[in-house]
Amino acid sequence: MDSVTEPKQQSLPAIAVTVIAGLLIWVLLSFFRKKEVKDKDEQINETKPNENTSNVKTGNKKAKHQRFLKKPSFVNFTHPYLHVTLKGHSGKVLGLDASINGKYMASCSDDRSVRLWSVKDFGSGNKCVRVNVEFDHARQARFSPDSRAFIAGLAVENTVRVFKLGKKDDGVTTCIPIEEDFKKYNQAELLNIGVGATSSGGSYVMTAYKNTTIMVRNLKGDILHTINTNQGNNNHAAVSPCGRFVASSGWTPDVKVWAVNFTRSGDYKDVTRAFELKGHTTSVWSFDFNNDSTRMVTVSKDGSWRFYDTRVEYEKGQEPYLLNSGEFCITGCSVDVDYCIVALSPDARVAAVACMNNITVFSTATGEVEVEFTEVHSEIISSLIFDIAGRYILSSGDKHIRIFHNTLGYKETIRELEDKIKPLPSASTTRERYQKQINEAKKALAAIDKS
Ligand SMILES: *[C@@H]1O[C@H](CO)[C@@H](O)[C@H](O)[C@H]1NC(C)=O
Ligand SMILES: *[C@@H]1O[C@H](CO)[C@@H](O)[C@H](O)[C@H]1NC(C)=O
Ligand SMILES: *[C@@H]1O[C@H](CO)[C@@H](O)[C@H](O)[C@H]1NC(C)=O
Ligand SMILES: *[C@@H]1O[C@H](CO)[C@@H](O)[C@H](O)[C@H]1NC(C)=O
Ligand SMILES: *[C@@H]1O[C@H](CO)[C@@H](O)[C@H](O)[C@H]1NC(C)=O
Ligand SMILES: *[C@@H]1O[C@H](CO)[C@@H](O)[C@H](O)[C@H]1NC(C)=O
Ligand SMILES: *[C@@H]1O[C@H](CO)[C@@H](O)[C@H](O)[C@H]1NC(C)=O
C-alpha cells in the first residue's frame, strides 16, 4: 500500500482544536463503553447453559446453539494434530488473516485489539504484537498484498481503518492507523473486506455489505465501482489472493465472480463479470480460492461441497468446470446448522469445513475425509484459514486460536507425486525433483508424529 499518503500537516491551532475535541469524544465514549460492558454482563447471565432458555425465545437459533456449545470440556481441547493454541485475546476472536509474505498472522477480537503473530514462532509461546482499535473493535483484518499494512473492518463504525506496519527503534514491529477511517455507509452491515493488487501495480479495497452491495474502492476509500450482487442477501464475499477477482455468494445457489481491471500503468479501469460457479441447489454459505485462483471450493446449505477448476478463458465464454463434490456433514450437523465456512489450501489439495465448532478436513482430489476435529472451540467457529505455505489450518471461535498441522497436505503431496513419478525414467531430473519433494513431505509428517 505504498500509495497511501502520509498524514497531512496541520497548523498548531488546528491541532489544539483536534486534541480538545478528541478528549471530549474520549470522555463520552468511555462513558458509553462502561455501559456497554455492563450490558454484556447481563447478557452473559441470560444465556447460561443450565438455564431453561430455549423457551424464552423459541426459534432463536443463536441462543439454542450457544446452549448446545457451552460445555466446560472444550476448555482443554487436545488433538494429535494440534500444533499450538494461541492465547492472549481477552474477548472472542472474530477473524483471522495471513500475510502473503508468509510472516504474519493477524487476529481480531471484540477485546478491541488486533494481534499480529509471527508464523515462524507459532510453536514458541504466545508472543504477539497488540494493536489497539481505538473506540471500536475489528471483525475482519486483511493484510495488504505487500504485507506492509492491514485494513480492519470496524464493527461499531461499520467502516474500514487502515493500519501501517512499522518498526520501532528496538526492531519491534508496531502498527499505527493512517489517516482517518473510510467514509461510512450506514444503510447496511459490513459483511467482509478485502485488499487486492494486480500484476500491473493497481490496488484496491473491497467492502462488501450484507444487503448485496459490494464496493471497489481506492486505498483512500473513494468508491471506484459499486456492484449489486442480486443474490437476495450476501453470505460471503472475498477478494481472490491473486487480486484479479471479487466474488460473492448469498441466498441464490451460485457464486458470482467479477474481474477488477486495471490498465498497464496501474490505473483503475473497470469491473466486469467474469464467471459463475453453478450446481448447488440452494444458498451457498461460503467459498474459497487457492493461491492463484485456478481452483475454488464452495459449501452450501444443500449439505454438499463442490470443487471447481476456474482456470478458464472466461473472456471467450468458457465456464469453470466441476472437478469433484461431496457431502461435508459426515457425522456432525446433527443440530440445525445455519452456516458453515470452507477454506482451501494454497495448493488446492486440501479443503476444511467448519460447522458450528467442528472442523472436517478432506482431500479435494479423492473426497476422502482425513480427520474431523470436534468441539474445537467453546463457541461457533468464526474464522477458518490455511497459512500461506499450506502447513497449518487455523481456527478461531472463542478467546483462543487453534493451529493444526495440515497433515493431509503432506499426505496428498506424497500420493500425487508418487503417481507422477511412476512413469518417469529412473534417471530424470524431474524424478529427482519429485523425489526430493516426497522426502521433504515424509520428513515433515514424521516430525508431526513425533511431537
Ligand atoms: C451475573 O452473574 C454475576 C456472577 O456470575 C453476578 O455478579 C452479576 O450480578 C450477575 N448479573 C446479573 C445482571 O444478574
Ligand atoms: C423447560 O421449560 C419447559 C416448558 O416450559 C418445561 O417443560 C421443562 O421441564 C423445562 N426444563 C427445565 C430443565 O426446567
Ligand atoms: C483443564 O486442565 C487444567 C490443567 O491441566 C485443569 O486444572 C482443569 O480442571 C481442566 N479443565 C477441565 C474442564 O477439564
Ligand atoms: C446497501 O447498502 C449500501 C451501502 O450502505 C447502499 O449504498 C445501497 O443502496 C444498499 N443497497 C440496497 C440494495 O439496499
Ligand atoms: C479487462 O476487461 C476486458 C473487457 O472489458 C477483458 O477483455 C480483459 O480480459 C480484462 N482484463 C483482465 C485482466 O481481467
Ligand atoms: C460435532 O461433532 C460431534 C462429535 O462427532 C457431534 O456430536 C456434533 O453433533 C457435531 N456438531 C455439529 C454442529 O456438527
Ligand atoms: C501457490 O502454491 C504453490 C504450492 O504451494 C506454490 O508452488 C506456488 O508458487 C504458489 N503460487 C502463488 C502465486 O503464490
The structural domain count of the chain equals 2
Do residues 298 and 419 share a domain?
no
Ligand 4: which of 185, 206, 223 to mutate, most ligand atoms within 8 Å of CB?
185
Out of 296, 329, 362, pick the residue that ends a domain.
329
> 361 in ligand 5 pocket by Cβ < 6 Å?
no
| pLDDT at residue number 438 | 96
In a domain, 426, yes or no: yes
Interaxial angle between packed helices 429-450 and 407-421, expressed in degrees from 0 to 180 and rounded to the nearest 10: 150
C-alpha cell at 184: 461510512
In a domain, 62, yes or no: no
User: Global pTM?
Assistant: 0.79
Buried b (16+ CB within 10 A) or exposed e, 326-354: bebbeebbeeebebbbbbbbbbbbbbbbb
Condensed to tens digits (0 to 9), the pLDDT of residues 120-164 reads: 888 776 788 888 888 899 999 999 988 888 999 999 989 999 988
Host H or E run for residue 409: helix 407-421
With a cut of 50, say whether residue 36 has pLDDT above it.
no
Burial of 53 (0-12, 13-18, 19+ CB in 10 A): middle
> 228 in ligand 2 pocket by Cβ < 6 Å?
no
In a domain, 67, yes or no: no
Do residues 325 and 432 share a domain?
no
In a domain, 355, yes or no: no
| pLDDT at residue number 187 | 72
Query: Considering the chain, what is the average pLDDT of its residues?
Result: 82
Do residues 317 and 436 share a domain?
no
CB 115 within 8 A of CB 129: yes
**Ligand 7: which atom is nearest the Cα of residue 390?**
5
In a domain, 38, yes or no: no
In a domain, 105, yes or no: yes
**What is the pLDDT averaged over residues 239-265?**
94
We report the CATH number of the domain holding residue 228 as 2.130.10.10
> 187 in ligand 2 pocket by Cβ < 6 Å?
no
At CB < 8 A and 24+ separation, what contacts does 330-336 make? 330/360, 330/369, 330/372, 331/372, 332/356, 332/358, 332/360, 332/372, 332/374, 333/303, 335/64, 335/65, 335/68, 336/61
Using pLDDT thresholds of 50, 70 and 90, give the confidence band for residue 436.
Answer: very high
Do residues 211 and 314 share a domain?
yes
Say which DSSP state 46 is in.
H
What is residue 314's three-state secondary structure? helix
Do residues 423 and 318 share a domain?
no
Out of 292, 313, 329, pick the residue that ends a domain.
329
CA 215 – CA 196 distance, rounded (Å): 13
C-alpha cell at 51: 438455564
Q: Would you list the DSSP string of 23-39?
A: HHHHHHHHHHHHHHHHH
> 78 in ligand 3 pocket by Cβ < 6 Å?
no
Do residues 324 and 430 share a domain?
no
CB 96 within 8 A of CB 131: no
Out of 329, 351, 386, pick the residue that ends a domain.
329
In a domain, 379, yes or no: no
With a cut of 60, say whether residue 268 has pLDDT above it.
yes
With a cut of 50, say whether residue 17 has pLDDT above it.
no
In a domain, 207, yes or no: yes
Do residues 187 and 290 share a domain?
yes
Determine the structural domain holding residue 423 and report its residue range. 415-450
Residues 6+ apart with CB under 8 A from 398: 74, 92, 93, 377, 378, 379
Ligand 2: which of 55, 57, 64 to mutate, most ligand atoms within 8 Å of CB?
55
CA 399 – CA 378 distance, rounded (Å): 9
Condensed to tens digits (0 to 9), the pLDDT of residues 174-224 reads: 666 666 778 777 678 999 999 999 888 889 999 999 999 999 999 888 999
Do residues 232 and 107 share a domain?
yes
C-alpha cell at 267: 490505473
Condensed to tens digits (0 to 9), the pLDDT of residues 328-387 reads: 875 555 556 788 999 999 999 999 999 988 999 999 999 999 999 999 999 999 999 999
In a 13 Å sphere around the CA of 268, the CA atoms on its Cβ side amount to 16
| pLDDT at residue number 392 | 96
First CA to last CA distance, the chain: 39
Residue 139 CA to ligand 6 center (angstroms) comes to 26
In a 13 Å sphere around the CA of 342, the CA atoms on its Cβ side amount to 32
Among residues 405, 349, 387, the alpha carbon closest in space to that of 99 is found at: 387
Do residues 431 and 299 share a domain?
no
Ligand 3: which of 75, 78, 85 to mutate, most ligand atoms within 8 Å of CB?
75
26 backbone dihedrals φ, ψ, rounded to 5°: -65, -45
**Other Cβ atoms within 10 Å of 445 Cβ, number:** 17
